Amino acid sequence: MPVPPSVDRAALEKLFDASQPQYRAIPGLIRKYYTIGDDKRAGGIYLWTSRAAAEAFYTEAWRAGVQKRWGQPASVSYFDVPIVLDGANAAAGAR
């Protein structure tokens, strides 16, 4: 979603950093990637143990919180991930 012009990259990274604790205990969340695009759009890519775990997280309360914080509705897309490949610098093995 678009980042307000008043929020620079450093401030956005601080917001991301401050939000980390709330994501650490979410059931089924394997990993979250915080993203910043060249077009100054921010978002996240989430890897879940299951679609059900993801759907349990993206509640109306979560959507309302996104709307309140960012001034616009959240956009959620689901993708199946049949294979995760770790790169050469990661430990060997794929899932």
d(CA 19, CA 12): 11
Long-range contacts of 2-9 (CB under 8 A, 24+ apart): 2/40, 2/41, 2/72, 3/36, 3/40, 3/41, 3/42, 4/71, 9/36
d(CA 93, CA 84): 9
Q: What is the mean pLDDT of residues 29-58?
A: 95
Q: Which residue has the higher pLDDT, 88 or 24?
A: 24
Is residue 63 over pLDDT 60? yes
User: Residue 92: which pLDDT band, with cuts at 50, 70 and 90?
Assistant: low
Domains of the chain plus CATH, in order, are 1-95 (3.30.70)
pTM: 0.81
Proportion of the chain above pLDDT 90, given as a percent: 69
**According to the model, what pLDDT value does residue 94 have?**
46
**According to the model, what pLDDT value does residue 93 have?**
52
- Binning the chain into helix, strand and coil, the percentages to the nearest 5 are 35, 20, 45
